[in-house]
Structure 1
Amino acid sequence: MTTNHPRKTALVTGAGTGVGAATALGLARRGYDVLVNYSKSEREAREIEAACREAGADVLVVQGSVADDADCRRLAAAAAERWGGRLDALVNNAGISVFAGDAAWDALDVEAFQRIYGVNVIGSFQMVRACLPLLQAAGGEGCIVNVSSVAGSLGIGSSVPYIASKGAMNSMTLHLARTLAPTVRVNAVCPGMITTRWFVDGIGQQGFEKMKAQYEGATPLGRACTAEDVAEAIVWLVDGARTVTGELLQLDAGMHLGAAPRLAGAR
């Protein structure tokens, strides 16, 4: 069934900063009402709320950790109450990592794996489970976009637990795309390096600048993603990709192609 709510609706986890914030604003500008979820960054979530309202959206701001199933159900219930039991889009953006080099085995323990999986994999599943009845009430227009990473397909990234969690998210995306069709589409975006505060917080400004230079020098397009680049792809998968499901969209400036020498005279 569908409701009479006049606008489409979306729930974006981890929407206080970075890719999540850019996505919430992008969807608001596209005509969606938005639930902005955050775990810690209330001040920044309120700033995104104001920007989305300026774009014409009705906005809910709800604190909660996707690692907590009760919080996931509370987020879904808040969206259902506000917008009449229908949700057009769920964007599973909330994610965490630890930064540990390939040889830093002592920096990784069971707790690190459990914490990262609890948010990146289990949290995303819990959000899908909580929101599924609302997505199925969208008259065949429901969709889920998981924010994954090239780490999950290339096996490189900030740490082994993070890499493994994004590989699991990719596999879960494919499974859900099969099992939730035809009423709900499920896709993932897989960015490479994104020029957000997340990297700076993890490795420091100097480390960030070094990594960015290395990344830009090694990719065919010679650039890293911005949060807005990733958000544009997410908004397209939500609102423009009516026949797309089960895709793991690489947003990595061609990094997955591998380094290759340029031909003489090529431009």
Structure 2
Amino acid sequence: MAKDSLCAIVTGSASGLGAATAEILARNGARLVINYSSSKTEAEATAEACRKAGAAEVLVAQGDVSKDDDCRRIVAAASGWGKLDILVNNAGTTKHVAYGDLDGLSADDFQRLYGVNTVGPFQMVRAARSLLEAGAKASGRTSAVVNVSSVAGINGVGSSMAYAASKGALNTLTRSLAVALAPMIRVNAVCPGYIDTPWFTKGRGEEGAKKVRDAVLARVPLKVASSAADIAQLVCFLALPASGNMTGEAVRMDAGMHLIT
């Protein structure tokens, strides 16, 4: 194991964007904590893929980021390394509700989405702060936090009002943390548009997901549906030293959708 290996936690990394991000970091020889809430089999498969990709070490930690004790347990999995260089807050959830259906969202729905999408990243950063600062001291450069947000948090349109509101709050939290944690830790957010993953299939079924994908392809200027691997490249750019002078940014990647809305 290389002494100077990057050490990283990626929450919600059993599948989708989190798994794609972990595999890129693995190709950079990182030590990784793969986190899952309920998908243990998928998490173990991601961990094995990361080992094959060249990760220096891979650990798997169960935990729901909306629970502070779980966040501390996830971070504790990395404590043996004595440092963290990267924290990717990717875990997220939603409820698919039409925007005109105000009765389709309850206070409990808002609290659940905020708990995972907004409070969870804050709790993960709080739990990981000392290890991230140790990483900065060890490397002589800033450690990185990357929050996976959404264009919904910018334009207010997404799978539901509660989801968009939680991601808008995450964008604000990103800026606040960037101020609070400088100069040792930088904090940025990625705001993807549509990602071609099972996310929409789970929420809207096969037919509904196809309609969303077809609509995106018809409208976006670049005429592409971004894959998890596409967005993961941006996440890793913000996590790795090449973006060392960036903090407090919410970087949009939506195939140009914002140009027409």
Q: CA deviation at 1:56?
A: 2.2
Tell me what 2:215 maps to. Answer: 214
User: Quick one: which amino acid aligns to residue 222 of structure 1?
Assistant: K
Matched, 1:170 2:167: no
C-alpha offsets along residues 50-107 of structure 1, whole Å, 9 cap, x if unaligned? 11111221000010000110010111111012x1x20000000000000000122222
Q: 1:33 aligns with which of 27, 31, 34?
A: 31
CA contact (8 A) 2:7 2:31 kept: yes
Q: 1:88 aligns with which of 85, 109, 121?
A: 85
Whole-angstrom distance in 2 between the partners of 1:5 and 1:66: 29
1:119 counterpart SS class: helix
Tell me what 1:63 maps to. Answer: 62
User: Quick one: which amino acid aligns to residue 75 of structure 1?
Assistant: I
Aligned ranges 1:115-264 → 2 under 5 Å: 115-138=112-135, 139=137, 140-239=141-240, 240-258=242-260
CA contact (8 A) 1:192 1:224 kept: no
CA contact (8 A) 2:28 2:54 kept: no
How many residue pairs get matched?
A: 254
Q: What is the TM-score with the length of structure 2 in the denominator?
A: 0.95
C-alpha offsets along residues 144-167 of structure 1, whole Å, 9 cap, x if unaligned? 000000000011000011000000
2:31 counterpart SS class: strand
Unmatched 5+ residue regions in structure 1?
260-267
Runs of 4+ in 1 over 6 A off after TM superposition: none
Whole-angstrom distance in 2 between the partners of 1:216 and 1:170: 26
User: Quick one: which amino acid aligns to residue 49 of structure 1?
Assistant: A
User: Quick one: which amino acid aligns to residue 70 of structure 2?
Assistant: D
Whole-angstrom distance in 2 between the partners of 1:72 and 1:233: 24
Whole-angstrom distance in 2 between the partners of 1:52 and 1:189: 22
Q: Which has the larger radius of gyration?
A: 1
Q: CA deviation at 1:6?
A: 2.9
Q: What is the TM-score with the length of structure 1 in the denominator?
A: 0.93
Q: CA deviation at 1:5?
A: 3.9
C-alpha offsets along residues 85-136 of structure 1, whole Å, 9 cap, x if unaligned? 2000000000000000012222210110010001001111000000011101
Whole-angstrom distance in 1 between the partners of 2:100 and 2:52: 48
2:77 counterpart SS class: helix
Whole-angstrom distance in 1 between the partners of 2:6 and 2:99: 44
Whole-angstrom distance in 2 between the partners of 1:191 and 1:224: 11
Aligned ranges 1:42-57 → 2 under 5 Å: 42-57=40-55
Matched, 1:79 2:81: no
Tell me what 2:21 maps to. Answer: 23
CA contact (8 A) 2:142 2:183 kept: no
CA contact (8 A) 1:96 1:120 kept: yes
Whole-angstrom distance in 1 between the partners of 2:38 and 2:231: 22
Unmatched 5+ residue regions in structure 2?
none
